[in-house]
Structure 1
Amino acid sequence: MSDVTHISSLLLTAEPSRIASVVAEIETCAAVEVALTDPSGKIIVTLETPSEAEIVGELNRLSLIDGVVSAALVYHQSESGLSPIGQ
Protein backbone atom coordinates (compact mmCIF):
# COMPACT_ATOMS: atom_id res chain seq x y z
CA MET A 1 0.00 0.00 0.00
CA SER A 2 1.31 3.43 -0.94
CA ASP A 3 1.57 6.24 1.58
CA VAL A 4 0.61 8.79 -1.08
CA THR A 5 -2.71 10.61 -0.87
CA HIS A 6 -4.14 12.29 -3.94
CA ILE A 7 -6.07 15.47 -3.22
CA SER A 8 -8.22 16.89 -5.99
CA SER A 9 -11.14 19.16 -6.60
CA LEU A 10 -13.89 18.85 -9.15
CA LEU A 11 -16.43 21.28 -10.52
CA LEU A 12 -19.84 19.77 -11.22
CA THR A 13 -22.70 21.56 -12.89
CA ALA A 14 -26.16 20.25 -12.07
CA GLU A 15 -29.64 21.19 -13.13
CA PRO A 16 -30.55 23.90 -10.58
CA SER A 17 -33.86 22.24 -9.74
CA ARG A 18 -32.05 18.98 -8.86
CA ILE A 19 -29.13 20.32 -6.87
CA ALA A 20 -30.38 18.97 -3.52
CA SER A 21 -30.73 15.41 -4.80
CA VAL A 22 -27.37 15.60 -6.60
CA VAL A 23 -25.62 16.79 -3.42
CA ALA A 24 -27.32 14.02 -1.41
CA GLU A 25 -26.01 11.43 -3.87
CA ILE A 26 -22.50 12.92 -3.86
CA GLU A 27 -22.38 12.73 -0.07
CA THR A 28 -22.88 8.95 -0.10
CA CYS A 29 -19.20 8.44 -0.89
CA ALA A 30 -16.69 8.63 1.97
CA ALA A 31 -13.84 9.99 -0.19
CA VAL A 32 -15.89 12.93 -1.50
CA GLU A 33 -16.73 16.14 0.34
CA VAL A 34 -19.03 18.86 -0.97
CA ALA A 35 -17.13 22.11 -0.42
CA LEU A 36 -19.53 24.61 -1.98
CA THR A 37 -22.83 24.78 -3.83
CA ASP A 38 -24.43 27.58 -5.77
CA PRO A 39 -28.14 27.97 -6.59
CA SER A 40 -27.25 28.14 -10.29
CA GLY A 41 -26.18 24.48 -10.10
CA LYS A 42 -22.44 24.73 -9.54
CA ILE A 43 -21.00 22.25 -7.03
CA ILE A 44 -17.38 22.12 -5.91
CA VAL A 45 -16.26 18.83 -4.40
CA THR A 46 -12.96 17.68 -2.98
CA LEU A 47 -11.58 14.15 -3.11
CA GLU A 48 -8.90 12.41 -1.09
CA THR A 49 -7.95 9.10 -2.67
CA PRO A 50 -5.01 6.69 -2.54
CA SER A 51 -4.54 6.66 -6.32
CA GLU A 52 -5.11 8.63 -9.49
CA ALA A 53 -7.24 5.78 -10.82
CA GLU A 54 -9.72 6.36 -7.99
CA ILE A 55 -9.95 10.04 -8.93
CA VAL A 56 -10.95 9.02 -12.44
CA GLY A 57 -13.42 6.48 -11.08
CA GLU A 58 -15.07 9.04 -8.81
CA LEU A 59 -15.16 11.63 -11.59
CA ASN A 60 -16.93 9.13 -13.82
CA ARG A 61 -19.34 8.09 -11.06
CA LEU A 62 -20.21 11.69 -10.23
CA SER A 63 -20.74 12.60 -13.88
CA LEU A 64 -23.35 9.84 -14.16
CA ILE A 65 -25.50 11.07 -11.28
CA ASP A 66 -28.98 11.91 -12.52
CA GLY A 67 -29.18 15.70 -12.81
CA VAL A 68 -25.44 16.31 -13.35
CA VAL A 69 -24.79 18.17 -16.59
CA SER A 70 -20.97 18.18 -16.47
CA ALA A 71 -18.08 17.21 -14.22
CA ALA A 72 -14.49 18.38 -14.58
CA LEU A 73 -11.23 17.94 -12.70
CA VAL A 74 -9.98 21.37 -11.61
CA TYR A 75 -7.02 20.60 -9.32
CA HIS A 76 -4.84 17.66 -8.32
CA GLN A 77 -1.84 17.17 -6.07
CA SER A 78 -0.30 14.24 -4.24
CA GLU A 79 1.09 14.23 -0.71
CA SER A 80 3.09 11.60 1.12
CA GLY A 81 2.26 10.54 4.65
CA LEU A 82 -1.44 11.46 4.71
CA SER A 83 -4.31 9.03 5.24
CA PRO A 84 -7.21 9.41 2.78
CA ILE A 85 -10.62 10.27 4.24
CA GLY A 86 -12.48 7.13 5.26
CA GLN A 87 -9.39 4.97 5.58
Structure 2
Amino acid sequence: MNETVGVISSMIVQARPEQIELIKTEIENFAGAEITAQDPSGKIIVVLEADTDRQLADTMQKIGEIQGVLGVNLVFHHSEKAN
Protein backbone atom coordinates (compact mmCIF):
# COMPACT_ATOMS: atom_id res chain seq x y z
CA MET A 1 0.00 0.00 0.00
CA ASN A 2 1.64 3.24 -1.15
CA GLU A 3 -0.10 6.23 0.40
CA THR A 4 1.17 9.79 0.28
CA VAL A 5 1.89 11.33 3.64
CA GLY A 6 2.24 15.04 4.31
CA VAL A 7 4.62 16.01 7.08
CA ILE A 8 5.20 19.33 8.80
CA SER A 9 7.58 19.96 11.66
CA SER A 10 9.46 22.69 13.43
CA MET A 11 12.89 22.54 14.95
CA ILE A 12 15.44 24.63 16.76
CA VAL A 13 18.85 24.66 15.13
CA GLN A 14 21.65 25.76 17.45
CA ALA A 15 24.44 27.34 15.41
CA ARG A 16 27.70 29.12 16.02
CA PRO A 17 26.66 32.80 16.08
CA GLU A 18 29.57 33.89 13.90
CA GLN A 19 28.41 31.46 11.15
CA ILE A 20 24.66 32.02 11.39
CA GLU A 21 24.22 33.81 8.05
CA LEU A 22 26.03 31.08 6.10
CA ILE A 23 24.08 28.39 7.93
CA LYS A 24 20.76 30.13 7.21
CA THR A 25 21.64 30.29 3.52
CA GLU A 26 22.34 26.55 3.44
CA ILE A 27 19.13 25.71 5.32
CA GLU A 28 17.05 27.81 2.93
CA ASN A 29 18.39 25.72 0.02
CA PHE A 30 16.60 22.61 1.32
CA ALA A 31 13.22 21.98 -0.31
CA GLY A 32 10.38 22.76 2.08
CA ALA A 33 12.55 24.58 4.65
CA GLU A 34 11.60 28.01 5.94
CA ILE A 35 13.38 30.02 8.63
CA THR A 36 10.79 31.74 10.78
CA ALA A 37 12.99 33.31 13.49
CA GLN A 38 16.53 33.64 14.73
CA ASP A 39 18.30 34.80 17.84
CA PRO A 40 21.71 36.51 18.11
CA SER A 41 22.88 33.67 20.36
CA GLY A 42 22.72 31.30 17.37
CA LYS A 43 19.24 29.78 17.62
CA ILE A 44 17.36 29.38 14.34
CA ILE A 45 13.71 28.29 14.17
CA VAL A 46 13.01 26.20 11.07
CA VAL A 47 9.67 24.97 9.74
CA LEU A 48 10.06 22.02 7.42
CA GLU A 49 7.47 20.46 5.11
CA ALA A 50 8.13 17.07 3.53
CA ASP A 51 6.29 14.31 1.71
CA THR A 52 7.37 11.53 4.09
CA ASP A 53 8.79 11.03 7.57
CA ARG A 54 11.95 9.59 5.96
CA GLN A 55 12.45 12.74 3.86
CA LEU A 56 12.03 14.85 7.00
CA ALA A 57 14.55 12.77 8.95
CA ASP A 58 17.06 12.90 6.09
CA THR A 59 16.76 16.69 5.82
CA MET A 60 17.18 17.09 9.59
CA GLN A 61 20.33 14.97 9.42
CA LYS A 62 21.71 17.07 6.55
CA ILE A 63 21.01 20.27 8.50
CA GLY A 64 22.89 18.79 11.44
CA GLU A 65 25.88 18.11 9.19
CA ILE A 66 26.24 21.76 8.09
CA GLN A 67 29.53 23.18 9.34
CA GLY A 68 28.86 25.37 12.38
CA VAL A 69 25.61 23.64 13.40
CA LEU A 70 25.86 22.46 17.00
CA GLY A 71 22.53 20.67 17.23
CA VAL A 72 19.06 20.16 15.74
CA ASN A 73 16.12 19.59 18.08
CA LEU A 74 12.64 18.64 16.88
CA VAL A 75 9.95 20.72 18.60
CA PHE A 76 6.78 19.84 16.68
CA HIS A 77 5.91 17.03 14.25
CA HIS A 78 2.68 16.25 12.46
CA SER A 79 1.98 13.82 9.63
CA GLU A 80 -1.17 12.73 7.89
CA LYS A 81 -2.30 10.92 4.81
CA ALA A 82 -2.92 13.27 1.90
CA ASN A 83 -6.12 12.61 -0.01
TM-score of the two chains, using structure 2 as the length reference: 0.89
Corresponding residue of 1:64: 65
The residue type paired with residue 70 of structure 1 is G
Provide the rounded CA distance (Å) in 1 between the counterparts of 2:37 and 2:58: 21
Alignment of 1:45-84 (within 5 A): 45-81=46-82
Corresponding residue of 1:23: 24
Report if the CA contact (8 A) 2:27-2:33 is conserved: yes
Provide the rounded CA distance (Å) in 2 between the counterparts of 1:21 and 1:7: 24
Count of aligned positions: 82
Where in structure 2 are there 5+ consecutive unaligned residues?
none
SS, match of residue 11 in structure 1: strand
The residue type paired with residue 14 of structure 1 is A
Q: Percent of aligned pairs with the same residue?
A: 37
Runs (4 or more) in structure 1 with deviation over 6 Å come to none
SS, match of residue 34 in structure 2: strand
Provide the rounded CA distance (Å) in 1 between the counterparts of 2:3 and 2:32: 17
